[in-house]
Amino acid sequence: MNPVPELLRRGANAAFGRGIDMRAVDDVADQLIAYQQFDPLGLGSHELTTTIDAAYEAGWQPLDLLHVVRRQQSAAVTTLAAAAILHDADLTRAATRAPEEWLRHLHEIADAHPDAVSPGKPDPNFLAARLRVGGKSDYIAVNDQWIAVLSLLGQWQSLPHWPRIGSLPSQWPARRTAGGPTGDRRPTGSTDSKMLGRIRGLLAKADATEFEDEADTFTAKAQELMTKYSIDSLVLTEGRSDIVSRRIHVDNPHSAAKAQLLHVVATVNRVKTIWDQDFAVGTVVGSPVDVEQTEILFTSLLIQATRALSHSPKAKKRKGASSGAFGKAFLYSYAVRIGERLEEADAHVLEEASRETGDLLPMLAAQTVAVDAEFERLFPRVRTVRGPRLDAEGWESGHAAANDADLHRQR
């Protein structure tokens, strides 16, 4: 009887969760190395891809799987996770079968982890191939790899079912075709890549510069383009654009405070959000343009908020737990004040657009109904939670920083 499957199960259970036992993990790794006659690397490779595929069918997507690993595991385990996800994509021919949003996930992973990209054709014995590519086959290298594999299996196999966003891999066709049933059809009201490229370019320049006036110019122009783009799309579809969902991954520290920033940006842009505190993932639901715009603006404002916090003289005086309390309060306050400013800007732009194109309220109402219906379908049981107690000085500093953030439109 082949002992490898049972060893993989035992090792995965010991490597992650409340009952973590690294001595047991080391013992399992030693046994897997010893049982070469049973092809443990081949079976481990198969177990990894099987686990990934099962997670996908349970509602998870590539960037979701990598995000949960990155939050709790080492850089080496994260790189192996990225490599396993890309390897599975090669085996399943995702490049020619998956929807565009799925491919975006894979491209982001490959760009962020170039060492995880396979240099040739996919080898079913993925783990052995990784060792060959790394040029290491000694005991320490193999042992480290097994510990990483068991950690991944333990974490990924413990994931719960999530609401389904888009089509599942089991529903993909043999080859992707436009307008097919897999979600590859371009949604009504979908985004224009050239316009988004211009917006992203402007915000990237705003994020990179240390000069506030220069950042203001770039961000103001980007905001102007985004607002006009959203309204034009609304008018073009007469408020009947498709409704899409996307998960946005938030990193520590202060993930809940950052989620509040996501919430206020989304709300102003007519997008609904829900926050999963356990995995630090926000799900946004709205029209394609509004969802894309929400993510772009959230990312830019998060960079500005983080930079403002790091430059705050009061923050630099805080140490230990006091520093953490200050940072959390700073970001919460920043989010609340930014939301107020965004609401003012949104009302102004809508008023101007209504004068030019006519009453937008019926179209906005139709879109709101569609967004609410999709949100309730995905999340039929939603509960609100009480906000945390916050540091007063951090709140005041965050409020002031939000007042300084650039949201002004060019005149």
Cα separation, 338 vs 267, in Å, equals 12
Which of 65, 15, 96, 388 lies closest to 247, judged by CA?
65
Cα separation, 182 vs 169, in Å, equals 9
Q: How crowded is residue 195: how many other Cβ atoms within 10 Å of its Cβ?
A: 17
Which of 39, 68, 53, 65 lies closest to 127, judged by CA?
39
Instruction: Return the pLDDT at 181.
Output: 39
Which of 329, 237, 248 lies closest to 283, judged by CA?
248
pLDDT digits (tens, 9 = 90+) for 176-197: 876 443 444 555 555 677 888 8
pLDDT digits (tens, 9 = 90+) for 296-348: 999 998 988 888 887 776 655 555 545 668 888 889 888 888 888 778 777 77
Break the chain into its structural domains and give their ranges.
Answer: 4-158, 193-404
pLDDT above 90 covers a percentage of the chain that reads 54
Instruction: Return the pLDDT at 41.
Output: 97
Give 164's pLDDT tier (boundaries 50, 70, 90).
very high
